Structure 1
Amino acid sequence: MAQPRITGPLVKVLDKLLDHPRESFYGYDLTKSTGIKSGTLYPLLVRLEEAGWLESGWEESQVEGRPRRRFYKLTTDGLQGAYDVLRSLPAPKVSTRAAEVLRPNLGGAS
C-alpha cells in the first residue's frame, strides 16, 4: 500500500505509537499526548488505516452515559513503515548557541 504523506502531525503520531507498538490507543489519548487537535488527528488516523498501517476497532465494554470508543493499533506494515519514516527524517538541527552550551570543555582556560 502507499505510504502516507509525511507531515509534522504524522511524525508525532507515529512517534507516539512506536513508544508502545503493541498497545492500542484511543484517539482522545492521542490528542492529549501529541497536542494534535482532533480535526487534524482523526483524518490522519483514517489515512493511516486506509494505507494499512493501522487497524481499528470499537471497545466492547460500555460505560453508562459514555459512547463507545474506537481504538487504533499499528499493523505489522505500519510498524515497519513508521520505523522507516522516522529513520528517513533528517537529524534535528541544533542552534549555534545550543551547540556551544552542549559542547564539552576540551581543555584550556575558561
Structure 2
Amino acid sequence: MRMTVTTAQVLAALLADPAADRYGLELMQATGLASGTLYPILHRLQEAGWVTAQWEDVDPADAGRPARRFYRLTPDGVERARDALAELHRRTAVPHPNGTVRPAW
C-alpha cells in the first residue's frame, strides 16, 4: 500500500474507532478531504483487503435520504494501518538535540 499523507489521514480517522462503521461524509469531515480524494483511497484500501464496505440496510423513502455506504477496517487492516502509521512516523520523525524525537510536521 502506497502511504501518502491523505491515505494516512483516512487510516487515522478509521483507527479512531476501528470497530465503528464510518460513511463517506463522516470521513470527509474527519479528514478534511474532498470526495474525489477520499473515495479513491477507500477503493484502494478495499482492494488491498484493509477495508470492507457495505450498503446500509435502509429504505431511502423511509429514511428521507439515500442509503449510506459504510466502511470499516478489517482486523488485518487495523494491524496493517497501525504498522503503516508507525512506520510513517518513524520515517518522518526529526531528532531533537535533547535526544527526543518529534514528527517533522
- Tell me the SS of whatever aligns to 2:54: strand
The match for 2:50 is 53
- Tell me the SS of whatever aligns to 1:57: strand
- Structure of greater Rg: 1
The match for 2:99 is none
- For each residue in 1:33-62, what CA deviation from the matched residue of structure 2 results, as whole angstroms up to 9, or x when unmatched? 110110010010000000000001000023
Give the TM-score of the pair, scaled to structure 1: 0.77
The match for 1:70 is 69
Q: List alignment gaps of at least 5 residues for structure 1.
A: 95-110
Pairing of 1:92-107 with structure 2 (within 5 A)? 92-93=103-104
Give the TM-score of the pair, scaled to structure 2: 0.81
Query: How far, CA to CA, are the matches of 2:6 and 2:55 in structure 1?
Result: 23
The match for 1:41 is 38
Q: List alignment gaps of at least 5 residues for structure 2.
A: 94-102
Query: How far, CA to CA, are the matches of 2:59 and 2:45 in structure 1?
Result: 26
Query: How far, CA to CA, are the matches of 1:44 and 1:71 in structure 2?
Result: 14
- For each residue in 1:61-80, what CA deviation from the matched residue of structure 2 results, as whole angstroms up to 9, or x when unmatched? 23424211100000011001
The match for 1:5 is 2
Query: How far, CA to CA, are the matches of 1:93 and 1:60 in structure 2?
Result: 43
> Runs in 1 of length 4+ with deviation above 2 angstroms?
62-65
Say how many residue pairs are matched: 91
